[in-house]
Structure 1
Amino acid sequence: MSDVSSNYSIRDEIREFWSERAATFDESVGHEIFSEAERAGWHGLIRKHLGEGQGRAALDLASGTGVISHLMNDMGYRVTGADWSEAMLEQARAKARKRQADIRFIMRDAENTAEPRQSYDVITNRHLVWTLVDAPAAFREWFELLKPGGKLLIVDGNMGRKGWATRLRLLFGGKPGNHRLAPGMAERLERIREQVYFSGQMPAEDVVAALLAVGFVNPVIDRRLGAIHWAQARKMPFWRALERLTQDRFAICVTKP
């Protein structure tokens, strides 16, 4: 876990990195949704842990181009999507206009949103927790934003842990690190990973422990994401598909008492 004294510099680097990826972000499987099977898988995961929207207020943190925001909107949630990158938000707003979706997109820091306390019924995020500079501070913020009885749904993974498929790919001469990025971007990503709170591995159990420490209760760790991952794998090259199916990816749901 990193020293959080350099918050500002690393946060700027995180924002710039994702802003530079915004224009092509939706081109990648695993970012945007490319099949109705995957869409159904996501709806099923959200329904399983959060239920139908029924007009309830949802905050989608690190909303990026709005993929999860749109899934929540489909299900009847009143959605606010928040992201640290204006470039990502521009993509999200354009997508919402095209789909005529009533989603509010705002620029916010996930660790200090400045949103009203106890104003959301549910909070969601995908692939955000591993980027947090001060995870306990973020978790306290999210706890305060939820109404009593509100739920937080995290979708992420222990990407620091190399599964057997990754080890096998490397054995056959595959490139280490994030081999799908340009070399300069891959190096920047590794530099970011070294400075965030979960700088090594990020087991779901460690995330849950940090969530419980700020007051959340009733944790559920869900690794049954096969409907999503199989649908994604069908759109991927062989090695990437195999890695997707064997990585330690998970959803975590906790409740504010």
Structure 2
Amino acid sequence: MISNATLRDEIRDYWSARAPSFDAAPGHGIATPGERKAWQDLLIRHLGPGQGGRALDLACGTGEMSGLLCDLGYQVTGLDWSEPMLGIARAKAWNAGRAITFRQADAEITMEPDASHDVLLTRHLVWTLVDPAAAFAEWRRILRPGGRLLIIDGDFVSAGRAARLLNWIERRIAPGSGGSSDPDLAAQHRSILRRVHFHDGARAEVVAGMLHSAGFTKVTVDRGLGPINRMIGRHAGFLHGLKRQTQHRYAISATRPAR
């Protein structure tokens, strides 16, 4: 059968199918006050307090990071390609009394106005990008001069020996813990991963270099995610927390030049 669906459409459909169980995965939903505080500390370290600034949460998913930005004092828009994800995000914001705008759009082609946001945030998006160079240029366009970008991501593909061993043990102890337990969704994930740009893994130094090429300055790689990993480990179990510590996880902050 011939399909006219693009890779971006397949990515949207995959995460739409994952939406109902998305927050149950450690590191997706924020499970405890300690984990929330650890995430907030990271955001403040790189983005500072909101003070009414405009923030765009790219590929916001179920809105966990959007909520953190709102609580820090930002005027927040959450953007995602998946309507089921946005439905959950809207319900969360409503229940928490947070004034967050959510909009359906592709994070690589945002349709946002030029220089319309003070900060941009992405969590676990870059490794799935189809065309990261174009996406980074787009993000630079919609940031105001002097605005900040924060990428939170990792290499979830080329795991080292320790991570592979821990993955194997975790799957034996808790089948499905590494992702969807649905075999069709797992196969779809593998198919998508083979075709995205970072199919061999999104390494921090490569992402940072591409940000430089896109015209960002003050590009800084932060590997200090230990507090977040420890808080997740306390909830999800020692083994998962240890696995996170062995993975190539990072935050990268960058600035659109003032001129």
> 1:252 is paired with a residue of what secondary structure?
strand
Aligned length: 252
- Asked whether the equivalents of residues 25 and 179 of structure 2 are also in contact (C-alpha less than 8 Å), the reply is no
- How far 1:37 moved relative to its partner? 1.0
Match of 1:160 among 138, 157, 160: 157
- Asked whether the equivalents of residues 58 and 121 of structure 1 are also in contact (C-alpha less than 8 Å), the reply is yes
RMSD: 2.1
Determine the structure 2 residue equivalent to 1:20.
Answer: 17
Return closer, same or farther for 1:214/1:7 CA change in 2, 3 Å cut-off.
farther
- How far 1:237 moved relative to its partner? 3.7
Return closer, same or farther for 1:36/1:249 CA change in 2, 3 Å cut-off.
same
Determine the structure 2 residue equivalent to 1:252.
Answer: 252
- What's the % identity of the aligned pairs? 48
- How far 1:7 moved relative to its partner? 10
- Asked whether the equivalents of residues 84 and 109 of structure 1 are also in contact (C-alpha less than 8 Å), the reply is yes
Q: Deviation per CA, 1:145-177: give whole Å up to 9, x if none.
A: 000000100000011221343232367695799
Question: Does 11-20 or 161-170 show the bigger shift?
Answer: 161-170
Aligned mates of 2:164, 2:17 — CA distance in 1 = 30
Determine the structure 1 residue equivalent to 2:65.
Answer: 68
**More relative contact order, 1 or 2 (CA 8 Å, 6+ apart):** 1
- How far 1:83 moved relative to its partner? 0.2
- How far 1:240 moved relative to its partner? 2.5
> 2:120 is paired with a residue of what secondary structure?
strand
Aligned mates of 2:244, 2:16 — CA distance in 1 = 24
Amino acid at match of 2:210: A
- Asked whether the equivalents of residues 25 and 177 of structure 2 are also in contact (C-alpha less than 8 Å), the reply is no
Residue 125 (structure 1) aligned with residue 115 (structure 2) = no
Determine the structure 1 residue equivalent to 2:106.
Answer: 109
Aligned mates of 1:95, 1:149 — CA distance in 2 = 31
Residue 34 (structure 1) aligned with residue 31 (structure 2) = yes
Residue 77 (structure 1) aligned with residue 78 (structure 2) = no
Unaligned runs of 5+ in 2: none
Match of 1:151 among 140, 148, 153: 148
